[in-house]
């Protein structure tokens, strides 16, 4: 069994604008950098108290990798890139303000709203393909690190997939889990399945900003 500490990247300018990111390579803003630094300090304190991270994996998108590098510096580790935990490719919806999706791309917005697993977004991924990619990547990471504690820096959409898979929640069901920037979300992954230990931990961010915790990923 492997313990996974799943982390959503820090805040970006597009998060603040409620703009669809997907595979667009958006860097962290100043708030996001501060969140990553606070997370790194927190994990270093936990390490010194006996709860250490053995390895760090990250999506290869800039906002996740930047978060992982800041945290890794605090822990003396080197992040390993894993494209399988990238955000979903939202195709023609990428770059649009969330509330303007219907106006600019009504057909793609209808597909996204339907949550039909095998309906691919124009120029992007289906929800089902996204689910299979993320689950396969997390299982592969766990197999490489039996008995260890691993951090995986990813994205809101991927976190939603992981929460659903652990709880056996259908992809068509409305989103129920908080997906918070720079949060710690802990689960175990092993031959007997996935189990959530704790979700949405953000107490380490209390002094970073009073807007921490906004879920802005469509």
**Residue extents of the structural domains in the chain:** 2-147+162-205
Q: What is the pLDDT of residue 206?
A: 84
Count, residues in the chain: 218
Model pLDDT, residue 218: 37
Mean pLDDT of 161-168: 98
Query: pLDDT value at position 181?
Result: 97
Phi and psi at residue 175, in whole multiples of 5°? -65, 135
Which residues lie across from 126 on neighbouring strands?
Answer: none
pLDDT tens sequence across 10-41? 999 999 999 999 999 999 999 999 999 999 99
Q: What is the pLDDT of residue 211?
A: 44
pLDDT band at 182 (very low <50, low <70, confident <90, very high): very high
Statement: residue 123 has pLDDT above 60:
yes
Integer Cα distance of 116 and 128 in angstroms: 8
DSSP state of 92: G
- Say which DSSP state 100 is in: G
> Do 73 and 90 contact (CB within 8 A), yes or no?
no
pLDDT at 112 over 60: yes
Helices vs. strands in the chain: H and E counts, helices first: 7, 6
Residue for token pair 């894993």: 82
Q: Is 87 a catalytic residue?
A: yes
- 9: annotated active-site residue: yes
Retrieve residue 57's tokens. Answer: 């994996």
This prediction's pTM: 0.93
**Which residues neighbour 130 within 8 Å (Cβ) at sequence distance 6 or greater?**
88, 89, 157, 158, 161
Q: Mean pLDDT over all residues of the chain?
A: 94
Domain over 2-147+162-205 is classified CATH 3.40.190.10 = no
- Alpha carbon distance 150, 25 (integer Å): 24
Pick the closest to residue 150 from 165, 166, 138, 135 (CA basis): 138
Residue 51: CB atoms within 10 A of its CB come to 12
Residue with the two structure tokens 């007997």 = 192
Catalytic residue among 87, 89, 125, 131: 87
Indicate if the alpha-carbon torsion angle 14, 114, 6, 136 is positive or negative: negative
Q: Which residues pair with 52 in a beta bridge?
A: none
DSSP-H helix ranges across the chain: 13-17, 30-48, 62-75, 101-104, 106-114, 127-144, 156-167
Average pLDDT value for residue range 62-70: 98
Query: What is the pLDDT averaged over residues 188-196?
Result: 96
213 has pLDDT over 80: no
The single residue of 3, 9, 42, 204 carrying the catalytic annotation is 9
């Amino acid at each position: 069994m492997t313990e996974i500490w799943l982390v959503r990247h820090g805040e970006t300018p597009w998060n603040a604008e409620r703009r669809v990111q997907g595979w667009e390579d958006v860097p962290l803003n100043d708030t996001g950098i501060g969140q990553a630094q606070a997370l790194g300090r927190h994990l270093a304190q936990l390490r010194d108290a006996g709860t250490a991270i053995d390895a760090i994996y990250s999506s290869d998108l800039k906002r996740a990798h930047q978060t992982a590098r800041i945290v890794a510096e605090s822990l003396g580790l080197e992040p390993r890139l894993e494209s399988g935990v990238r955000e979903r490719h939202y195709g023609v919806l990428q770059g649009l303000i969330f509330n303007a999706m219907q106006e600019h791309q009504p057909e793609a917005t209808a597909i996204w709203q339907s949550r039909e697993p095998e309906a691919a977004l124009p120029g992007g991924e289906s929800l089902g393909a996204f689910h299979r990619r993320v689950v396969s990547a997390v299982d592969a990471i766990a197999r490489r690190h039996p008995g260890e504690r691993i951090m995986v820096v990813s994205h809101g959409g991927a976190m939603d997939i992981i929460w659903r898979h652990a709880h056996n929640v259908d992809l068509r069901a409305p989103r129920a889990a908080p997906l918070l920037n720079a949060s710690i979300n802990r689960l175990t992954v092993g031959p007997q399945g996935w189990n959530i230990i704790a979700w949405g931990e953000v107490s380490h961010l209390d002094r970073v900003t009073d807007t921490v915790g906004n879920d802005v990923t469509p």
